[in-house]
A and B are shown apart, each in its own frame.
Chain A
Amino acid sequence: MAVVSDGAGMLRTADGVPLKQALARATRVNKIKAFLLVAPLLVFILITFIVPILDMMTRSVSSPEVVDALPKTIAELVKWDGTDLPPEAAFAAMAAEMSDKKNKFYLGKAAARLNFQKSGFRSLFNKSQRKIKRVKQGPFKDAFAKIDKRWAQSATWNIIRNASGRYTDVHYLNAIDMNRDPAGEIAAQPKIKRIYVTLFERTIYVSFGVTILCLILAYPISYLLATLPLKTSNLLMILVLLPFWTSLLVRTTAWIVLLQANGVLNDLFVFFGIVNDENRIRMIYNMTGSLIAMTHILMPFMVLPLYSVMKTISPTYMRAARSLGANPFTAFVRVYMPQTVPGIGAGSILVFILAIGYYITPALVGGQSGQLISNLIEYHMKKSLNWGLAAALGGLLLIGILVLYWLYNRIVGIDKMKFG
């Protein structure tokens, strides 16, 4: 509290309020105004971006289905040691909860959740629900065993018990090709079911490939755009933007027409005798197709940031470098290129992040070797309805991107990124 309050020296406004206070008030009003101006955007981002992401992230670890449907059974199962069979009390609780009509909705969800762990749970639950209703008297252990012999196996009950927590790591385990065995230990999936790690690797590798291809192809174009006289460069710009404005599906389909076995390109090859009619080159429905189509579609995202950065580089720098004795190559590499790094960084990050989440194009032209992780996410969102696994796969992808972003910041510096 060592404030020196020298009344005589304090600056005041005309109406006697200390200047400091008046200034603070003025800036506060401005701050509130500024905040109110961005508030709509903030609310919009919060509702349409942050909340859905948080919701999906929660889904990737939550698994309330089983405990919601069978709370009493779970309470009994927790006491059980996991060997042999659970006590009769667990069977009785299960019978009561399965016979409860109001519980049907939750039982359906629980069965779907368990079916992801072990095929057959869906029909086992349905069948048992239908039949156990008629059983009024215990012992329920025998009644269940009579309905289906799986109820007399400890593995079945272990799977239920393992899925009984409100929170689970099983979606994340599945997303890296692992699972929990009935004893609850983490184990690798059998070889025939491993897929996600391969696809993650492939996705990253394709995205890098596309980014580098885009960079190699876009750099000269952007240079031309930035250095040619306005009239010509405008025309070139239209050539860049026209595909950008065309629907994604149209562009992808156009590539199918061009690249397929009986497509334009192969017809030309055959016509000029480069390949014979029997050995037409397969350029689509495989990885090549994915790479070509994605590179083309993402190209504008590389060209535009590069162009806007190159446009600001004064030609006098190059002239100065030349006049100081550098040959054109040295001048370009040592003077021009370093100045374009912000554009390279911005374009590469844009292209890479877009590529990593691509799914329509690989789905259409990727065939069996050109599928990416997002195709599986889409499958789990829309077809299998395993939203937990889809969320976990998406979560891993998000973490991967954040790590890359952090790396980029460490190596290049995010403040150097420039979109224009």
Chain B
Amino acid sequence: MKTFKPLSVALVGLFAVGFASSASAEAITVVSWGGAYTKSQINAYHKPWEAKTGNKVNSEDYNGGLAEVRAQVEAGNVTWDAVDVELSDAIRGCDEGILEPLPLDELPAGADGSKAADDFIGGTLTECAVGEIVWSTVFAFDKTKMKKTPTSIKDLFDTKNFPGKRGLRKTPRVNLEWALMADGVATADVYKVLSTPEGVNRAFAKLDTIKGEVIWWEAGAQPPQMLADGEVVISSAYNGRLFNAIMVEKKPFDIVWDGQVWDIDLWVVPKGSKNFKTTWDFIKFSTDTQRLADQAKFISYGPVRKSSFPKVQKKMQPHMPTAPVNFKNPLQNDYEFWADNGDELTERFNAWLAG
């Protein structure tokens, strides 16, 4: 008995401490993509929210996709509260019923008084998700290695005038769209053409012309690294990662904004989250006008609220995907198209790669 006593006392004490802290403040688990992006969220969202409410945010990293969310929901043991996902996953998860529908009319109005529904740019509020940022897939080149300066998406596919290895993301997304654009399809018609079997063949035929020159990347950190190592001379990449390489690490890269494919990241809540009320409070807070504008201080992704644009720092504005000078020939990623055709096209893409 003697030896057990201190132990049991300690255990009771531990429980008491745990209980006390959970009674006064709640902790939620917020999951995002890691790196510079998560850092920008911690600075702009998590810290001010913790200071305001006294609650705690546990930040976790993941690599995208709904696999973990689905596993948690199916096992009935949901440990993630808010997850930062891409639009196609937000739609898909909502359709499959593994995400909580959100009471969107409770979102705060913009700083200029406009209603949330009007303030968020089109398509960034969906049944189960609240948008945060606009990000873009663009391509960049190493200024020291290129004799001529690439200016349009056609140049990415032009190995004669712009020789050297290319970096592309190992997925049909964006690549098929770009192949068609480089083949002369107008930006507005890309998904219309891609919806036909001939269009898909045409896109793959165009990709065939550079297949031997491509090095495929998977993680967002890879392309700036491959450019810096001289492994590729031109590469597709996420604009935020390039911003970091160019502005912070002073690499001699230049971004080509022509044909940028933009997409959004959104908050979703897995079905059965144990802290729904607190999490929803966090989401409302983090997507208000000020917080979204603050985030753009730390990374060059654009806010989804119109009322946040004027509040973005002047020096950051030219690096935003939505800056008018960059937004001349943009293509919005068509989540409906990819939700329908993603499986089949990826299958074909993988077969094409292996063949």
CB distance from B206 to the nearest CB of A (A): 15
List B134-163 residues whose CB lies under 8 Å from chain A.
none
List A93-120 residues whose CB lies under 8 Å from chain B.
104-106, 108-109, 111-112, 115-116, 119-120
List A334-379 residues whose CB lies under 8 Å from chain B.
363-364, 367-369, 371, 376, 379
Q: Using a CB–CB distance below 8 Å, which chain A residues touch chain B?
A: 104-106, 108-109, 111-112, 115-116, 119-123, 126, 192-195, 198-199, 202, 260-263, 285, 363-364, 367-369, 371, 376, 379, 381-386
Contact B97 A108 (CB under 8 A): yes
Contact A120 B350 (CB under 8 A): no
Q: In whole angstroms, what is the CA distance A192 to B339 when docked?
A: 21
Total A-B Cβ pairs within 8 A: 91
Q: Does B231 contact A (CB under 8 A)?
A: yes
Contact A363 B218 (CB under 8 A): yes
**B266-287, CB under 8 A of A: which get 1 and which 0?**
0000000000000000000000
Beyond A112-B96, A367-B216, A382-B63, 11 additional pairs, beta carbon < 8 A? A119-B340, A120-B340, A195-B351, A198-B354, A260-B229, A263-B229, A363-B218, A367-B215, A368-B353, A371-B350, A384-B342
Q: Which residue of B lies closest to A111 (CB)?
A: B95
Q: List 14 A-B contacts (CB under 8 A).
A: A105-B97, A108-B95, A112-B95, A120-B340, A122-B92, A193-B351, A195-B347, A260-B231, A261-B230, A261-B231, A368-B353, A368-B354, A383-B67, A385-B65
Summarize A's interface: helix, strand, loop or mixed: helix
Question: Which residues of B have CB within 8 Å of A371?
Answer: 350, 353-354
Contact with A193, one of B70, B92, B340, B348 (Cβ below 8 angstroms) = B348
Question: Which residues of B have CB within 8 Å of A116?
Answer: 343
CB distance from A244 to the nearest CB of B (A): 25
Q: Which residue of A lies closest to B97 (CB)?
A: A105
Contact A104 B67 (CB under 8 A): no
Evaluate whether A123 and B339 lie within 8 angstroms (CB atoms) in the complex, with A104-B97, A195-B350, A261-B230 already known: yes
Q: Does B352 contact A (CB under 8 A)?
A: yes
List B332-355 residues whose CB lies under 8 Å from chain A.
336, 339-348, 350-355
Question: Which residues of B have CB within 8 Å of A202?
Answer: 354
List B145-185 residues whose CB lies under 8 Å from chain A.
165
Q: Which residue of B lies closest to A383 (CB)?
A: B65
Contact B343 A384 (CB under 8 A): yes
Question: Which residues of A have CB within 8 Å of B216?
Answer: 285, 367-368
Question: Which residues of B have CB within 8 Å of A260?
Answer: 229, 231
Contact A115 B340 (CB under 8 A): yes
CB distance from B271 to the nearest CB of A (A): 9
Question: Which residues of A have CB within 8 Å of B340?
Answer: 115, 119-123
Contact A262 B336 (CB under 8 A): no
CB distance from A181 to the nearest CB of B (A): 16
Evaluate whether A119 and B344 lie within 8 angstroms (CB atoms) in the complex, with A195-B354, A367-B215, A383-B65 already known: yes
Q: Which residue of A lies closest to B101 (CB)?
A: A104
Contact A285 B339 (CB under 8 A): no
Contact A199 B354 (CB under 8 A): yes
Contact B97 A109 (CB under 8 A): yes
Summarize B's interface: helix, strand, loop or mixed: helix
Question: Which residues of A have CB within 8 Å of B339?
Answer: 122-123
List B27-73 residues whose CB lies under 8 Å from chain A.
63, 65-67, 70
Contact A120 B348 (CB under 8 A): no
Contact with B341, one of A120, A126, A262, A379 (Cβ below 8 angstroms) = A120
Contact B343 A123 (CB under 8 A): no
CB distance from A384 to the nearest CB of B (A): 5
Q: Which residue of B lies closest to A115 (CB)?
A: B343
Q: Which residue of A lies closest to B170 (CB)?
A: A368
Q: Which residue of B lies closest to A375 (CB)?
A: B350
Interface size class of B (residues with CB under 8 A): 35 or more
Q: Which residue of B lies closest to A198 (CB)?
A: B354
CB distance from A150 to the nearest CB of B (A): 12
Residue of B63, B65, B95, B229 with most partner-chain A CB within 10 A: B95
Q: In whole angstroms, what is the CA distance A121 to B339 when docked?
A: 10
Contact A192 B351 (CB under 8 A): yes
Question: Which residues of A have CB within 8 Å of B341?
Answer: 119-120
Contact with A385, one of B67, B218, B229 (Cβ below 8 angstroms) = B67
CB distance from A199 to the nearest CB of B (A): 6
Question: Which residues of A have CB within 8 Å of B336?
Answer: 123
CB distance from A176 to the nearest CB of B (A): 14
Question: Which residues of B have CB within 8 Å of A369?
Answer: 354
Q: In whole angstroms, what is the CA distance A132 to B342 when docked?
A: 26
Contact A126 B95 (CB under 8 A): yes
Q: Which residue of A lies closest to B225 (CB)?
A: A256
Q: In whole angstroms, what is the CA distance A285 to B215 when docked?
A: 7
Q: In whole angstroms, what is the CA distance A368 to B214 when docked?
A: 9
Question: Which residues of B have CB within 8 Å of A193?
Answer: 344, 347-348, 351
Residue of B63, B218, B348, B355 with most partner-chain A CB within 10 A: B355
Contact B66 A385 (CB under 8 A): yes
Contact with A262, one of B211, B229, B343, B355 (Cβ below 8 angstroms) = B229
Question: Which residues of B have CB within 8 Å of A115?
Answer: 340, 343
Contact B95 A385 (CB under 8 A): no
Q: Which residue of A lies closest to B347 (CB)?
A: A193
List B211-230 residues whose CB lies under 8 Å from chain A.
211, 214-216, 218, 229-230
Contact with A192, one of B66, B229, B352 (Cβ below 8 angstroms) = B352
Contact B348 A192 (CB under 8 A): yes
**B213-251, CB under 8 A of A: which get 1 and which 0?**
011101000000000011100000000000000000000
Question: Which residues of B have CB within 8 Å of A263?
Answer: 229
Contact with B350, one of A121, A262, A376, A382 (Cβ below 8 angstroms) = A376
Question: Which residues of B have CB within 8 Å of A198?
Answer: 354-355
Q: In whole angstroms, what is the CA distance A104 to B95 when docked?
A: 8
Q: In whole angstroms, what is the CA distance A379 to B347 when docked?
A: 10
List B301-355 residues whose CB lies under 8 Å from chain A.
336, 339-348, 350-355
Contact A382 B351 (CB under 8 A): no
CB distance from A179 to the nearest CB of B (A): 11
Contact with A386, one of B94, B343, B355 (Cβ below 8 angstroms) = B343
Q: In whole angstroms, what is the CA distance A324 to B348 when docked?
A: 65
Question: Which residues of B have CB within 8 Å of A368?
Answer: 211, 214, 216, 353-354
Contact A262 B353 (CB under 8 A): no
Question: Which residues of B have CB within 8 Å of A384?
Answer: 342-343, 346
Q: In whole angstroms, what is the CA distance A106 to B231 when docked?
A: 47
